Structure formats: structure tokens, C-alpha cells
Structure 1
């Protein structure tokens, strides 16, 4: 009991988060401490806590250096693993600012949709943590973007197609950008032959 006569409740780490952290090369004790200190909020919060607090505190301990090397290797692998690609409809001849706004719509639209549905949640979490790799590519026209969109749907790869509201530069309903998310191979199966914008 504490001073308020409430019984102590032993902290229980989220088992799924704990396993994820350990699989990344983080020691079980550091993983548990990170989950405790972040209130079991998320894997990302725990990883941030580990790298910000625990590894720096013990950086002269050889076992920590080894764990750091494992984590760094994990970082390199994960950083290459997932990406989001954006295919811009170049036939619309949008200005630079318009393209930037439409790519932002495509990114946020797909991100929100995936967060709401829980689709590929672990992959999205890794992508969030490891730098959110993004690439912007040239699409030929509306038909081209729709063809890529349908191909992604057939392969069950998360995708999002932006139709403009028509307030500036282009007519309402114009298909401006396609966003596609997944691991490198999945995304490249859809957009791998396209040129950079």
C-alpha cells in the first residue's frame, strides 16, 4: 500500500511492444524500462526513450556498444525496408507549389487511411520511426495514375488517389497524385520503372 492506502499495481509491459523492441536488438531490461517510462504508449516512443536515455547513459559499457551496433544494423535494414512513393500527373502541368500541396494531400490521405484501418500498422510504425522514406515520380496522365492505382489495389498494396477540389489551376475532379506504401519490392512492383520528378 502507498500513502493513499491504494495497493501497488505491478507494471506489465505490453507484450507485443516488448517483443518488437527485443527483436530490434534492444535488451529486455532496457525495453521494459522504456515501456514503463513511456507508459506503454508505443514502440516508437520506447525506441526514442532507449536511444535518448539508456544508450547514452551507458555508452562506456561494452555490452551497450554491442547493443548499439545491433540497433544500428537494424536501423539500416529498416530504413531501406519501407517507403511511400508519389506519382504526379505531369499532364496537368501544375506549378511547383500546386504539386507540393497535392503530394502532401496524397501523403496525409494514405497515412490517415492506414492509421484508421490499422492496415500494415507495424510497417507504418517502422516507416515513421526510420525517417519516413518518400520518393516523387512522374506519371504520364490520369489514365496512367488510375492504371497504377488499380494494380496496387489488385496486389493489396496500400494506395491513395487524390482528386483536386478545383479551387486553383486545374479543374475540379482532376486526378493529381497517387501515393503507394509498402516495402521496397512491393512499391517498386508498381512504380519501379518511373522517373524521378
Structure 2
């Protein structure tokens, strides 16, 4: 019996899911690992696993390019993300912070869906795992400055003002959400630390 260090070597992936993943340009090894680690749940779960875990693991973008795009770097898909900048000066509790980040995510997502702003980008973000990053903001002025910078750059953004029912005064600016491709979002929030 041949020895292997892959825990999914004897695993039987859903053939339909495996075929779909490979047709997206994901290597067979990455596709099998993703299906193994997500319990054969769905193509979407496996794709999310690949983009969340395997891209960072080996930076092997060659395995994730669409078929036929190997020689055309300009055709590779953009990666999108949503970042959330939390007003740390408010010293919100963990639950309060989580609720405010959720408000920021849903607020920006709804606003973009209603206006149709960057619908293709939003659909691609949805499909590839909805990458989200939570960052530390200094205070209200800091969040407002980042909000204004995003507006000037025409990057979708949303600023949450709390109703003041718990922990903090009404009208407090709690979280800023920003959405776009990695490059433009990093131009706004790329220097901030993770929360």
C-alpha cells in the first residue's frame, strides 16, 4: 500500500462538485482538499474554502486561474473584499461591536443592491466567499476621514451611526464599511491594524 500524507487521499468527493471546481480552474488536488474539508457540502462551500485557505497557503495562483487564461494576465479576475473599520475610541463590548459590524455589512450590501452599484463586482464577491476584514479605527474623526476618502475615490462605503439604545450615546459613529477590489480598498484601509 502506497503511503500518502494527504488526509483526503481515500476520501470520495462528490464527482459533480469536483468536476465543477476543476472547470473553474481549481487544481484537482485543491478541489479534493476543499471538498474533504467542507464535508462535500456544496461547490460554493468548497470555493469559499479554496479562496479563504489555499490561496494564502501556497500562493499558487496558477491553479486558480480560469482555463485558457494562463497566458493572459489581464484577464485574471479581480478579487473583492469588504473591510470594516471599528471606532475603538467607543470601547464597545464584543457583542456590541459584532452587531455594529453586521449593521455596516448589511447597510452597504443593501445600498449597493438597491442602487445597482458595481453589481458584477458584488456578485463575484458573493460567489468567491465574501471576503471580510475587521480593522481598528482610532475615533469618529478617523472614520469620517476614511469615509470621505472613499467617497472621493468613488468607492462604495457606508457609515453606521448607532441609535444609542445600549452602551453608547445616540448618533455615535461606530463602524465604516468599504467595498471594492483589493487595490482600491487597500488604498483606503490598507495601513490599519486588524481588530
TM-score norm. by structure 2 comes to 0.65
The runs of 5 or more residues in structure 2 that have no matched partner are 1-13, 28-62, 67-75
- 1:105 Cα deviation (Å)? 0.1
Aligned to 2:16: 56
Aligned to 1:67: 23
Indicate the SS of the match to 1:124: helix
- 1:67 Cα deviation (Å)? 3.1
Aligned to 1:92: 90
Indicate the SS of the match to 1:69: coil
Instruction: Deviation per CA, 1:150-181: give whole Å up to 9, x if none.
Output: 00000000000000000000000000000000
Higher helix fraction: Structure 1 or Structure 2? 1
Question: C-alpha separation between the residues in 2 aligned to 1:66 and 1:96?
Answer: 40
Aligned to 2:37: none
Judging changes above 3 Å, is the alpha-carbon distance between structure 1 residues 69 and 166 closer, same or farther for their aligned structure 2 residues?
A: same
The runs of 5 or more residues in structure 1 that have no matched partner are 1-52
- 1:189 Cα deviation (Å)? 0.4
Aligned to 2:187: 189
Structure having the higher Rg: 1
Instruction: Deviation per CA, 1:75-106: give whole Å up to 9, x if none.
Output: 7x65x700000000000000000000000000
Question: C-alpha separation between the residues in 2 aligned to 1:81 and 1:158?
Answer: 15
Judging changes above 3 Å, is the alpha-carbon distance between structure 1 residues 93 and 56 closer, same or farther for their aligned structure 2 residues?
A: same
Judging changes above 3 Å, is the alpha-carbon distance between structure 1 residues 66 and 83 closer, same or farther for their aligned structure 2 residues?
A: closer
Q: How many residue pairs end up in the alignment?
A: 138
Aligned to 1:101: 99
